[in-house]
Structure 1
């Protein structure tokens, strides 16, 4: 519809770059990864949130260290 086109044009052409950068930073900080694979080395300039281990994996690891 015409409203969707106007909204899209506003969002991509008139939104401040700082707001876009903040949004991208929050979106790209979360990088989930399968726990059975080795961790990917950090090679970027942005902040990456640490991944939470699953309850099952944490339980298995604590049981194996006893």
Structure 2
């Protein structure tokens, strides 16, 4: 299987899960619920925008701090 080179400004699903402190299934649930959108890659190896992931992380931290 050939590995894709990820575009600058994007994260893999594994990197996204790490940033958000969740598992891959949690990332899939966020996508399914419309909280996070894929921004590239392939169906089996999606990429997510760093900006979107950072904004979601900040929103989750703010909500958890309250």
* TM norm. shorter chain > 0.5: no
Q: What is the TM-score with the length of structure 1 in the denominator? A: 0.30
Q: Which protein shows a greater Rg?
A: 1
Pick 1 or 2: higher relative contact order, CA cutoff 8 A, min separation 6.
2
Q: TM-score normalised to the size of structure 2?
A: 0.30
Which is strand-richer, 1 or 2? 2
